[in-house]
């Protein structure tokens, strides 16, 4: 999938909230890509745009999302639903653990999903297969959602999301409510789904520490913009954008007694700063930063950042 110049705006009485504002992002076949940024930076909005789940007052204000050569934003919605949603592109939502219906057994919810999507094959065989893909024993199919742990429910939901063999799975903060051990298991599971089922993953989180464990490349999003992208080791070891550095230094470690948050808060997305959106909070800003939006500069192989400090001709 290749996202080019995506803009998603929400109209409000005070003006448009520019939640996603000219974002480029690519997930190649077989990649596990991380998208990280503080709450409110536009990550979920981007994911919902890929699923075509942006409703008024929201709108796609520009850009393309190319999937296997088709701009999935330009085709009629019914065609998108018939060909892409769940079948090629699936999503695990932020609060999906709670989206099982409490009064039906897990098995019934799998059968219903397979039926709705027109699965041709044996529902029970497929349910068993899906549960084992996510390391769940088929016996849980006979249980009710409340009989499962949080981690089991989350894995069951991932199994449901991949029921129709999607090529891309978007996981929007799927682990936030889970303990650390369960979070790590979840990340291992995504790796296995990639290796064994060939599913690419766009993993969304506000926790940059989690990303160092699995992803190939990461994108750092701030106030509706991608500010840095690159291979995960490059970005974490040698961050090029001051915002990425701030995110990394706010990772709690065992030897740090207190965790530094990033001082200040996200700017208004209705009237964002005219120059760099991080300028008001940036500890190393230059005069140009409040005047002109930063260009994107390459700092290494596939590694780039939008920051004026990287300009080669900086005086
Ligand atoms: N339906 C909506 N109406 C107005 N503003 C919205 C709506 N949905 C999201 N936003 C705004 O878009 C911005 C990005 O939100 P979101 O994509 O949820 O961020 P993230 O997932 O990174 O926390 C926020 O400022 C949020 O308030
Ligand atoms: Mg979100």
Report every protein residue that has its C-beta within 5 angstroms of ion ligand 2: 44
**Residue 35 and residue 27 in contact, taking contact as beta carbons nearer than 8 Å:** no
The pLDDT assigned to 97 comes to: 66
In the chain, domain spans: 2-88+166-310
Whether 315 has a pLDDT exceeding 60, the answer reads no
Whether 250 has a pLDDT exceeding 90, the answer reads no
d(Cα 168, Cα 147) in Å, to the nearest integer? 30
Angle (nearest 5°) at CA 276 between 271 and 278: 90
The pLDDT assigned to 30 comes to: 94
Q: Whose CA is nearest to atom 12 of ligand 1?
A: 19
For 48-105, how does the pLDDT look when each residue is reduced to its tens digit (9 = 90+)? 999 999 999 999 999 999 999 999 999 999 999 999 999 999 999 877 667 788 999 9
Q: What is the mean pLDDT of residues 154-176?
A: 92
Ligand 1 atom closest to 45 (CA): 17
Q: What is the CATH number of domain 2-88+166-310?
A: 3.40.50.300
**Residue 130 and residue 109 in contact, taking contact as beta carbons nearer than 8 Å:** no
Percent of the chain beyond pLDDT 70? 96
**Residue 119 and residue 126 in contact, taking contact as beta carbons nearer than 8 Å:** yes
121-127, long-range: CB < 8 A, 24+ apart: 126/163
For ligand 1, pick from 11, 12, 40, 53 the residue to mutate: most ligand atoms within 8 Å of CB.
40
Which candidate, 16, 15, 21, 17, places its Cα nearest to that of 62?
21
d(Cα 132, Cα 215) in Å, to the nearest integer? 23
**Residue 262 and residue 281 in contact, taking contact as beta carbons nearer than 8 Å:** yes
The pLDDT assigned to 158 comes to: 92
The pLDDT assigned to 110 comes to: 96
The pLDDT assigned to 111 comes to: 97
The pLDDT assigned to 207 comes to: 87
- The model's pTM is 0.94
Judging by DSSP bridges, how do beta strands 168-172 and 2-12 pair with one another? unpaired
Whether ligand 1 lies within 6 angstroms of the CB of 113 is answered as no
SS3 182: helix
d(Cα 124, Cα 165) in Å, to the nearest integer? 16
Burial class (CB in 10 A: 0-12, 13-18, 19+), 39: exposed
The pLDDT assigned to 297 comes to: 97
d(Cα 273, Cα 139) in Å, to the nearest integer? 55
- Cis amide bond preceding 57, omega within 30: yes
The pLDDT assigned to 255 comes to: 61
What average pLDDT is seen over the chain? 92
Whether 256 has a pLDDT exceeding 60, the answer reads no
Q: What is the mean pLDDT of residues 188-207?
A: 93
Burial class (CB in 10 A: 0-12, 13-18, 19+), 125: exposed
- Which band of pLDDT confidence, cut at 50, 70 and 90, is reported for residue 170? very high
Q: Whose CA is nearest to atom 6 of ligand 1?
A: 10
Whether 212 has a pLDDT exceeding 70, the answer reads yes
Provide the H-helix boundaries in the chain. Answer: 43-50, 77-83, 106-116, 123-133, 150-161, 180-197, 208-211, 232-237, 242-249
The pLDDT assigned to 253 comes to: 66
Whether 258 has a pLDDT exceeding 90, the answer reads no
For ligand 1, pick from 41, 42, 91 the residue to mutate: most ligand atoms within 8 Å of CB.
42
**d(CA 141, ligand 1 centre) in Å:** 35
The pLDDT assigned to 254 comes to: 60
Q: Which residues contact 149 (CB under 8 A, 6 or more apart)?
A: none
What b/e sequence results for 94-121 when a residue is b if at least 16 CB atoms lie within 10 Å of its CB, and e otherwise?
A: bebbeebeeeebbbebbbebbeeeebee
For 259-275, how does the pLDDT look when each residue is reduced to its tens digit (9 = 90+)? 567 889 999 999 999 99
What b/e sequence results for 46-65 when a residue is b if at least 16 CB atoms lie within 10 Å of its CB, and e otherwise?
A: bbbbbbbebeeebebbebbb
Provide the edge-to-edge strand list for the sheet that holds 15-26: 15-26, 2-12, 58-67, 70-71
Which candidate, 224, 235, 162, 174, places its Cα nearest to that of 203?
174
Q: What is the mean pLDDT of residues 218-232?
A: 97
Whether ligand 1 lies within 6 angstroms of the CB of 41 is answered as yes
Per-residue tokens: 124? 């029970």
The pLDDT assigned to 33 comes to: 96
For 7-33, how does the pLDDT look when each residue is reduced to its tens digit (9 = 90+)? 999 999 999 999 999 999 999 999 999
Instruction: Give the relative orientation of helices 150-161 and 106-116 as an angle to the nearest 10 degrees.
Output: 20
DSSP assignment letter at 202: E
- Which band of pLDDT confidence, cut at 50, 70 and 90, is reported for residue 176? confident
Q: What is the mean pLDDT of residues 179-189?
A: 83
For 104-118, how does the pLDDT look when each residue is reduced to its tens digit (9 = 90+)? 999 999 999 999 999
């Amino acid at each position: 999938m290749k996202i080019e110049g995506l803009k998603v705006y929400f109209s409000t009485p005070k003006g448009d909230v520019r939640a996603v504002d000219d974002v480029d992002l690519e997930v190649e076949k077989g990649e596990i890509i991380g998208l990280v940024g503080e709450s409110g930076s536009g990550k979920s909005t981007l994911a919902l745009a890929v699923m075509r789940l942006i409703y008024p007052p929201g709108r796609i204000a520009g850009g393309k999302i190319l999937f296997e050569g088709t701009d999935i934003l330009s085709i009629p919605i019914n065609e998108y639903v018939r060909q892409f949603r769940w079948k090629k592109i699936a999503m695990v939502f932020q609060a999906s653990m709670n989206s099982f219906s409490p009064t039906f057994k897990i098995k019934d919810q799998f059968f219903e999903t397979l039926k709705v999507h027109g699965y041709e094959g044996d529902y029970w065989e497929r349910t068993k297969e899906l549960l084992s893909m996510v390391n769940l024993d088929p016996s849980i199919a006979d249980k009710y959602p409340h009989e499962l742990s949080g981690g089991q429910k989350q894995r069951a939901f991932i199994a449901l999301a991949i029921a129709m063999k999607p090529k891309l799975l978007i996981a929007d903060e799927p682990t936030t409510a889970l303990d650390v051990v369960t979070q790590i298991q979840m990340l291992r599971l995504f790796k296995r789904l990639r290796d064994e089922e060939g599913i690419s993953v766009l993993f969304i989180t506000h926790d940059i520490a989690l990303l160092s464990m699995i992803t190939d490349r990461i994108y750092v999003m701030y106030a509706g913009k991608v500010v840095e992208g690159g291979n995960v080791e490059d970005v974490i070891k040698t961050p090029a954008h001051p915002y990425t550095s701030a995110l990394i230094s706010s990772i709690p470690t065992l030897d740090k007694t207190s965790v530094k948050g990033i001082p200040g808060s996200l700017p208004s997305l209705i009237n964002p700063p005219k120059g760099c959106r991080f300028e008001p909070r940036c500890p190393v800003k230059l005069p140009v930063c409040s005047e002109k939006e930063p260009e994107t500069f390459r700092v290494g192989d596939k590694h780039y950042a939008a920051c004026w400090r990287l300009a080669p001709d900086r005086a």
